[in-house]
Structures are given as C-alpha cells and as structure tokens.
Amino acid sequence: MKNKVTLTIDGETVTVPAGTTLRAACDLVGHPVPTLCWHENLTAANACRACVVELKGSRTLVASCSREAEEGMDVRTNSERVLNSRKVVAELLLSTSKSELAPDLLSLAQTAAADPDRFSGGATWEQPVLDDNNLYVRDLSRCILCYRCVEACGDDAQNTFAISVAGRGFEAHIDAGFGRALPESDCVYCGNCVAVCPTGALIGKTEWTLRQEGQWVDDNITVTETVCSYCGVGCQLNLHVLDNRIVKVTSPMDHPVTHGMLCVKGRYGYEFVQIEDK
Amino acid sequence: MPEIRRLLPTLDIASAPTSLERLRERGFERALQRSAAMTSQAIVAEVQASGIKGRGGAAFPTGAKWAAVLAASGEVRYAVMNADESELGTFKDRALLEQDPLGAMVGLVIAARAVGAKRAYCYVRGEYREVEAQMGAAIQTLRQAGWVGADTVDIEIRRGAGAYIAGEETALLNSIEGKRAEPRVKPPFPTTQGLWRSPTLIQNVETLANVALLFAHDVDWFRTYGTPDTPGTKLIGLSGHIEHPGVYEVPFGYPLMQLITETEMGHGVSGSGHLGAVLLGGAAGTFLAPDEIRDSVLDYGSLAKYGASIGSGAFMVFDDTVDLTWVLTKLARFFADESCGQCVPCRVGTRRILEFLQRGELERRPEDLRDLAQAMKDASICGLGQTAPVALLSILDRLERRTNETRR
Amino acid sequence: MDLDKAALSRRVQELLSDIPRERQQLLPALWRVFEEYWHLSPEMIDAIAQTLDIPYADVYGVASFYALFANPDNKKPIYICTDVMCALYGSEDLLKAGEDLANDAGVRVKEAPCLGHCDGAPALFDGRQTIRHASPKVLAQIIRGETDA
C-alpha cells in the first residue's frame, strides 16, 4: 500500500500521508473547514455535518472529519452546495438549541451568514437545567447532540459508560437511563464529558454559578500550569483562576499523558487546596 | 399483457409454502444442487451475467456486490437478508415471503456459499410476525434437507422492533450487533467492513428470490423478461385508490398505466374513479401526474425523465379528490418519526419540514424549503435524510411549473 | 433491593437463561422481557443490563430507540396504522374509536406508521398478529379480548 496520497483541494495539489482525513488535509493547505462535533482526541461522530465538502464524483457531500484522503480526489471546500449545507446546519441548530456558550457554533453561524430566524418558531430543545450534584450542571437546552460526552464517558477515554444517546429523531438526547439523576447513575465525576462539551450544555458547577451571578469574566481569568499531586501519573493541570480563586481545572488536549482527560481528583479536587489556604 | 408469475408461485400451486415438495416443485432444490457444484467465482460470474439489480430500492448491480465481498479480505464473512420492509406503501417482500418463503431463503444460502459466509442473518421487521414464523419454517425445511446447518451455513432470524431506519443496511448491521440502529458512515462499505467489521453481503428479500430463480434455471431463462439493461421481473405493490390492491409481478419495461387498468391487476381507479396522481417508489418517492404515468414504463431510464424511480416498488394511487399536501404532510410526519436523530440535517430538518407543512407554508416559502431540502440531500449521513425531501421537491417543482404556465 | 425487585430480577434472568451472554443478543433479550410485561421499566432494563453485562445507560439507549418498546405500562399495545394508505380507508376514525374503547380495557390503542399491509387497509397489529381490513367491530372484539385475532 502506498503511504502517501496526492489530491486536489480547491485547485491546490497536496500530498499527505495515507490515512489522513480530508479535514486534516484541508487544514494543511490553509483551507480549514468548520467543525462542531469533531474533536481531536475522540472518534469522529459524523453527526453535525458542518464539515462537509464537495468531492468530485460523489452524489452527496462528504464529511471531511472521517473521510480519508484518496489518490486523485478533487475536493472543494467552498462550493455553492457546501456553503448552503453549512448555513442550513447552523440555522437548524440555532433554531433548536441555545448557543451563547457555543463558540464554534457562533463562529460557524457568522462565517456561513446564517439567519437564526429562518427555521425558528418550531420545536426547540428548551428544558429545565439539571442541577443534581456539586460538581457539574447539565443545561441540555444547549445540547447539539455532538456525541462527544458519550464518547469521552465511553471507550474513547473514561470507559464508564454512564451516559448514552437515547430516544430517536428530534427527541434523541443524552441520558443516563430513564432520566436518572447523576448521583444514581454510574457517573464517576471525572468531568471529561464537561471538558469536551462544545456548547456549555455540560458546565462546571462553579462556572455555572458564577455565570448565573454575572461574576464570570473571561478576561479576568488567569491560567496557571501545574502537575497534579494526587498520584504519580503526572497529569498537567491548568488552574483557571478568577479573583484569586480556582474556578475551573482543565488539562491541555495535546498533553501526552492526559490528552485533556482527568479524574475526579484532578478536575474537581481544587476546593481542598482552597480550604487549606484559609 | 397479463401478469407474470416467476417470483410469485402460480396461483394453482398445491404444495405448502415451506414444504420439501415446494422446494422441488419450484426448482429450488435444483438451484441448491447446481450452485453447490460450482466454485464461488462461477456463482458470482453467473449472478453478474444475469444482470440482476438490487430490488430494495437502490438497484445496485447484485453481481458487482457479490464480487466485492468475495474479493474483500477477512476470514469471517456474513450474509444478511434484509426483510425489514417498512417503507410506506411497500409490502412486496411480505407477499413474497408469505407465498413462497423458500425462494428468498435458498437465495440466501447460495449467497452465503458464494461469499464464504458460515453464518447468515434474516432481519425481519417486528410487525411481520406471520412472516417471521414462515421464515422459521422455511429454515427448518432447509435444515432437515441438509442445506442449512453448522457445516454449511447457519441462519438466524433477527426481529426488529419498530424502526424504519433499521432497513438502511449499515443501521441494520448495528441493530444486529445489539446497538442503536444508527447508520454508519460509508465508506467503508459493508462489503468490506460489515458485521463486526467483517465482509458482509446484505441483500433484499426480492433480490435473493431472484437469485434462487436464476440458479433454478439459467441466465438465458432469467433474461427472457425485462430489458437488456434491467433484466427480469419486478414486484409492484399497488395500493390506495385502486380496485384490486395487491402485489403484482411484471417485467421491467412494463407500461405503468397498464398496472392500473389491467383487469388481472389494478382493475381501475377506485374512489372517484378518476386518477389524480401516483406516488411511485415509497415515502421518498415522486408524485407522477396521469399523463406522466401514461408516458412511462417500468424502467430506470424511462422514469428518470420525471426524476422518479421505481424504488421499492411502491405504487400508491390517489384519485383526483386527494389533497397532495395532506399526503406530503403524512410523509413528512413519517420521516420525522423515523429519523434516527444522529445527524443535524435529518434530525432537525425532517422536523422543520413537518412544521412548515403543518403551518401551511409550502407555497409561501418555497426558497427556504428548497435550501433546507438541498442541505438534507447533500449533507445527511444516510439515504433516509437524503431522500426525505424528494416527494416534497416533486410537489414544489409541480407548483413552480403551474405558476410559470399561468404567467405565460 | 426490595422483594419485588429481587423477584423481577430473578424472572428476567430466567427469561434470558438460554440467551448467550453476548452484546448481539440485546435485541432478542429486550423482546423476551417486553413480551412478558408489554413494557420495559427501569428495573427490567437494570436486570437485563446486569444479566448481559451491558451498561444500564447503554441498554436504555438501545431500548428507547425502537418504537415497539415504547409502552409506559403493562397494558398490551394494539397498533392501528394511520399512514397514508390506511388513512384513505378510515384508519383515523378507527384509531379514535379504539382509543375511546381502550380507556376502560387493559389494552392501549396506539398509532403506527405503515404496517406493510396497504393492500388490506386499514390494518392493525395486536402485538402478535396483523388484522387486515380491520373493522370497528373486530377492533372492539380485540380490545375486549373476545378474540385471539
């Protein structure tokens, strides 16, 4: 098997290693495609369809996040059909879910010149906030069903399988089973679902509370890097600090040990540090 | 021209549908014996020579599919019969399995042998309980005759549970594997990565019944009917405002209007007695006006002129009193209910189309509907979302033509 | 675990006793339990999850995908096709009549998409069998349990 393939993207010829996705190849030539559900450390879900591109000879557009580059492919990232699909995807999501905390969706909407009202007026995802534990809140009105949380909870990272997509069609949703509250579910509160959520549907309790109170100011947050001291694995922690208080802990998605994933101690054990300080 | 009965047994057949006598009487035993004496390559070559195309709706050349599975690498292979018939207006597989279940089952055994599958599944919709029982009896007969079993091919029936999308081949695979019946992204195709990522051959019931007939006879016999490009016969499900609804077998190339008028078949339009329109191909089909029906024959080329397709063989007749927007709204409801919910264009798009129609905005916002429909056709993962707006577009086209004619 | 729950769990294990402990047996397993109780409760899903060693949320995710498993309690569902072809033959009136009659009976009358009997419209499916050309009279008999049909 050849280990390099050469293809054309928007008229530019590019050679990439075999197995490279069209999305990555588009990035390489400087014609990035927008994505919503795709995440660098998770299996491509193929769900949002924001990343579709036009492939010569294909009846439909193809999802660039999962389609691998093949020799001789002729790809367009900005054809009329591509632009229409991107715009409609953004409009359909805007008509369904709350988007204020979804930067990727807002940016897609802007670049695609989406009209948020075009398909609105029908059924939406409006539903009560689920605040059933001390560590994170589920505001599913913001969910766009990207499957990231299910994958992070499942075999892409945590292997806990506490949540799944349930129901189908417009009623498809993320569920721990019959709407179980998290404390009754298999959840271990690693917060990896929160880390990969692109829309704020899953959000740390501290951040959610501060946002409710109007106290969360992105510009005032500083990030300090450290290494988690709970065990010897060596996970990098990024401590997000607001007004001298740790308000969120993340780990870089490109960190060789964590790949952005932590355990409950690393992600939510910070209150302990703050109690000691006092 | 009268009805032909090849796939369907003749009306005077006396043997019980799942009996050994039926197996012999229909030539299926000969089909099994003949194929058993052939190499995989020879079987596939014969299917290719016959020109059989898939009868589930997509009309993909059957021989090419078999060749792809045969050529795929992998120790373990599977064969699957798709009996999840759930398309609106479609009931031909049910009729076939009720009247002659051994045909499709023998086709499955031949298919499994051709691609080297030791295990096969029959996926049947959960509402077809009588059909399921009939399939079970057919498998039992073949087991007793030594054609099905651990050292040949084992066949397991898998019952669906009310999901039209499970008939989509990759969703069907997920359903068999015990997962949510969400379609997978293609490529890879099931021919190379199907059940448990092994090469898998999936065929519709009617396609497999054609295979059994082919091996019961030969390529020349098979090509006696139909057109050179699309040989053989097709089962058509006639329903709606028609005097004699039912499943009829006709050769490709058959004039569509005769399906309605022939005394042995439709026997004329019921209801008001005046033909209003035909919805051809299923829920994702195309509305054809009476003059278009008069002008068309049952073949892909002839129908392509009107953007129509034979699809699953659904032929739904409406008299001239039926409000087609009402039909469209029903179709939209069907797709919204049956969307798996995985991708945005279909999950939200099918719901928005339904809402548009319920609000009576079909004629008020055709451009927005067309943009939405185009995005669904272009960007949905699978055939459900891609074809959900087809009937709607055929009505929008018709409205546009009418407006242009009035302007002229 | 209270007694009822323990008994139910035992019954589910019994129902699934000859089913191989494989993921691909989930759909057949759901059917077995559903046909015993005509619905799938959280306790039943839990018992299936334990027996087949599949996560609870996962089993629920699969079960909730399929329309035929969507029944809230043990009232046996009877499905009336209200899709296009059957609607041309009065199935929507049949549905209304059925819903009224079923109110006091131990069954639930539900709408169904195309049942694949468009040539026998209107069609109904009683969970085991299909009735073609269903009349209000036959429907009433089925609801009152006067016929096996």
Contact B355 A123 (CB under 8 A): yes
C38 touches chain B (CB under 8 A): no
Structure tokens at B153: 């091919």
Spatial distance between the Cα atoms of B111 and B40, rounded to a whole number of angstroms = 9
Residue of C nearest to B326 (CA): C84
Q: What pLDDT shows up at residue A275?
A: 66
Q: How far apart are the first and last CA of chain B?
A: 41
* C-alpha distances in Å from residue B341, one per residue of A268, B183, B248: 33, 10, 35
Residue A190 gets the label, from left (phi > 0), alpha (psi -120 to 50) or beta, of alpha
The answer to whether the Cβ–Cβ distance between B127 and C125 falls below 8 Å is yes
A52 to chain C nearest CA, in Å?
26
Are B379 and A167 a contacting pair at CB < 8 A?
Answer: no
- A74-76 and A52-55: which strand pairing? antiparallel
Out of A167, A168, A175, the one facing C57 most closely (by C-beta) is A175
Domain co-membership, C8 together with C37: yes
Chain C residues with CB under 8 Å of A180 CB are 42, 57
Q: Supply angle C-alpha B318, B324, B326, rounded to 5.
A: 110
Query: Secondary structure of A58-89 in the HEC alphabet?
Result: CCCCEECCCCECCCCCEEECCCHHHHHHHHHH
The DSSP H or E segment spanning A247 is: strand A245-250
Q: Please, which chains are in contact with B (at least 3 CB pairs closer than 8 A)? A: A, C
Q: Is C70 on the interface with A (CB under 8 A)?
A: no
Q: Where a domain ends, among C25, C51, C69?
A: C69
Tell me how long chain A is: 278
Size of interface B-C (CB pairs under 8 A): 123
Give mean pLDDT, residues B319-337: 97
Say how many C-beta atoms besides its own lie within 10 A of residue A272's C-beta.
11
Q: Give the nearest chain A residue to C42 (CA atoms).
A: A178
In this predicted model, what pLDDT tens digit does every residue of B50-83 receive, in sequence order? 999 999 988 999 999 999 999 999 999 999 999 9
Cβ separation of A163 and C57 shorter than 8 Å?
yes
Phi, psi of B290 (to 5 degrees): -55, -40
Domain with CATH 3.10.20.740 in chain A: 1-123
- Which pLDDT belongs to residue B402? 84
Q: Is C28 in the B-facing interface, judged by CB distances under 8 Å?
A: yes
- Tell me whether residue C65 is in a domain: yes
Mean pLDDT, rounded, for B252-271:
96
With an 8 Å Cβ cutoff, is C64 touching chain A? Answer: yes
CA C149 to CA C142: how far, in whole Å? Answer: 7
d(Cα A246, Cα B107) in Å, to the nearest integer?
67
Sort out which chain B residues have CB atoms less than 8 A from C25's CB and list them.
178
- Decide: C81 and C91 in contact? Cβ < 8 Å: yes
Q: Which residue of A has its CA nearest to B342?
A: A47
Same domain flag for C86 and C135: yes
Q: What is the distance in angstroms between the Cα of A9 and the nearest Cα belonging to chain B?
A: 19
Amino acid at C50: Q
> Across the interface, which of C69, C87, C128 has its CB nearest the CB of B129?
C128
* pLDDT value for A5: 97
Tens digits of residue pLDDT in A45-92: 999 999 999 999 999 999 999 999 999 999 999 999 999 999 999 999
> How many other CB atoms sit within 10 Å of the CB of residue A100?
11
Locate the chain B residue with the closest alpha carbon to A52: B379
* B322/C88 CB distance under 8 A: yes
Please enumerate residues of B whose Cβ is less than 8 A from a Cβ of A.
Answer: 163, 165, 180, 185, 187, 336-345, 347-352, 355, 368, 371-372, 374-375, 377-381, 386
Q: What is the pLDDT of residue A271?
A: 77
* Chain A contact for C42 (CB, 8 A cutoff): yes
Q: Which residues of B touch C62 (CB under 8 A)?
A: 178-180
Cβ(B397)–Cβ(B289) below 8 Å: no
Residues A101, A194 contacting (CB under 8 angstroms):
no
Q: Reduced to 3 states, what is the DSSP secondary structure of residue A230?
A: coil
Domain B20-222 = CATH 3.30.70.20:
no
B400 at the C interface (CB within 8 A)?
A: no
CATH assignment of A136-277, given 2.40.10.10, 3.40.50.300, 3.10.290.10, 2.20.25.90?
Answer: 2.20.25.90
Pairing relationship of beta strands B78-83 and B119-124 according to DSSP bridges: parallel
Exposed/middle/buried for residue B209 (C-beta within 10 Å: 0-12, 13-18, 19+): buried
CATH no. of B233-319: 3.10.20.600
Q: Report the SS3 class of residue C112.
A: strand
| CATH for the stretch A1-123 | 3.10.20.740
C125 domain-assigned? yes
Structural domain total, chain C: 2
- Of the candidates A161, A162, A166, the beta carbon closest to that of C64 is on A166
* Rg (chain B; Cα; Å): 21
Check whether B401 has a pLDDT greater than 90. no
Q: How many CB atoms lie within 10 A of CB A150?
A: 23
**Partner B contacted by C96 (CB < 8 A):** no
pLDDT of chain A along its 278 residues, tens only? 579 999 999 999 999 999 999 999 999 999 999 999 999 999 999 999 999 999 999 999 999 999 999 999 999 999 999 999 999 999 999 999 999 999 999 999 999 999 999 999 999 999 999 999 999 999 999 999 999 999 999 999 999 999 999 999 999 999 999 999 999 999 999 999 999 999 999 999 999 999 999 999 999 999 999 999 999 999 999 999 999 999 999 999 999 999 999 999 999 998 777 765 44
Does C47 share its domain with C12?
yes
CATH code linked to domain B324-407:
1.20.1440.230
C-alpha torsion B371→B372→B373→B377, nearest 10: 100
Q: Do C88 and B178 touch (CB under 8 A)?
A: no
Per the prediction, chain B carries an average pLDDT of 96
On whether both C62 and C85 belong to a single domain, the answer is no
The answer to whether C28 contacts B158, with C-beta atoms less than 8 Å apart, is yes
Neighbouring residues of B259: CB distance < 8 A, sequence distance ≥ 6:
B236, B238, B248, B250, B265, B266, B298, B315
Tell me which chain A residues have a C-beta less than 8 angstroms from the C-beta of B58: none
Q: Give the CATH number for residue C103.
A: 3.40.30.10
pLDDT at A276: 53
**SS3 state at A206:** helix
**Closest listed residue to residue B22, CA positions, set B117, B145, B115:** B145
Confirm whether C29 is domain-assigned: yes
For B123, the token pair is: 């996926």
Contact B127 C121 (CB under 8 A): no
Do residues C63 and C83 share a domain?
no
Instruction: Answer whether C65 touches A (CB < 8 Å).
Output: yes
Q: What is the pLDDT of residue A1?
A: 57
pLDDT < 50 stretches in chain C: 149
The reply to whether C91 and C108 lie within a common domain is: yes
Contact status of B347 with chain C (Cβ, < 8 Å): no
Please determine whether the domains at B20-222 and B324-407 fall in the same fold group of CATH: no
Residues on chain C touching B271 (C-beta within 8 angstroms): 88
User: Is the same domain home to C48 and C80?
Assistant: no
First and final C-alpha spacing in chain A: 63
Asked if residues A239 and A245 have their Cβ atoms less than 8 Å apart, the reply is no
Is the same domain home to C119 and C62? Answer: no
The residue among C51, C69, C87 that closes a domain is C69
CATH 2.20.25.90 range(s) for chain A read: 136-277
8 Å CB contact of C65 and B163: yes
Stated pTM of the model: 0.96
At position B4, the amino acid (one-letter code) is: I
Cβ contacts (< 8 Å) between B357 and chain A: which residues? none
Burial group, residue B398, by CB count within 10 angstroms (0-12, 13-18, 19+): middle
- C80 and C137: one domain? yes
The shortest CB-CB distance from A162 to any of C42, C57, C64 is to C57
Q: What's the burial of A87, exposed, middle or buried (CB within 10 Å: 0-12/13-18/19+)? A: buried
| Residues spanned by the domain of C62 | 3-69
Residue B105: exposed, middle, or buried by beta-carbon count in 10 A (0-12, 13-18, 19+)? buried
B235 bridge partner residues: B249
Mean pLDDT of the B375-384 span: 97
- Contacts A155 to B, Cβ<8 Å: none
Say which residue the tokens 């001239």 belong to: B320
Specify if C148 maps to a domain. no
Given a cut of 90, whether residue B142 has pLDDT beyond it is: yes
Q: Is B123 at the interface with chain C, CB within 8 A?
A: no
For chain B, the structural domain boundaries read: 20-222, 233-319, 324-407
Q: Do the domain assignments include residue C149?
A: no
3-state secondary structure chain B: CCCCCCCCCCCCCCCCCCCHHHHHHCCHHHHHHHHHCCCHHHHHHHHHHHCCECCCCCCCEHHHHHHHHHHCCCCCCEEEEEECCCCCCCCHHHHHHHHCHHHHHHHHHHHHHHHCCCEEEEEECCCCHHHHHHHHHHHHHHHHCCCCCCCCCEEEEEECCCCHHHHCHHHHHHHHCCCCCCCCCCCCCCCCCCHHHCCEEEEEHHHHHHHHHHHHCCHHHHCCCECCCCECEEEEEEEECECCCEEEEEECCCEHHHHHHCCCCCCCECCCCCEEEEEECCCCCEEECHHHHHCCECCHHHHHCCCCCCCCCEEEEEECCCCHHHHHHHHHHHHHHHCCCCCHHHHHHHHHHHHHHHCCCCCCCHHHHHHHHHHHHHHCCCHHHHHCCHHHHHHHHHHHHHHHHHHC
Shortest distance, CA B277 to any CA of chain C (angstroms): 14
Q: Which position has the higher pLDDT, B10 or B399?
A: B10
Does any CB of chain C come closer than 8 Å to the CB of residue B246? yes
Q: Which residue of A has its CA nearest to C58?
A: A164
In angstroms, rounded to a whole number, what is the distance separating the alpha carbons of residues C26 and B177? 8
What is the distance between the alpha carbons of residues A100 and A141, in angstroms, rounded to a whole number? 11
DSSP, residue by residue, C19-34: S-S-GGGHHHHHHHHH
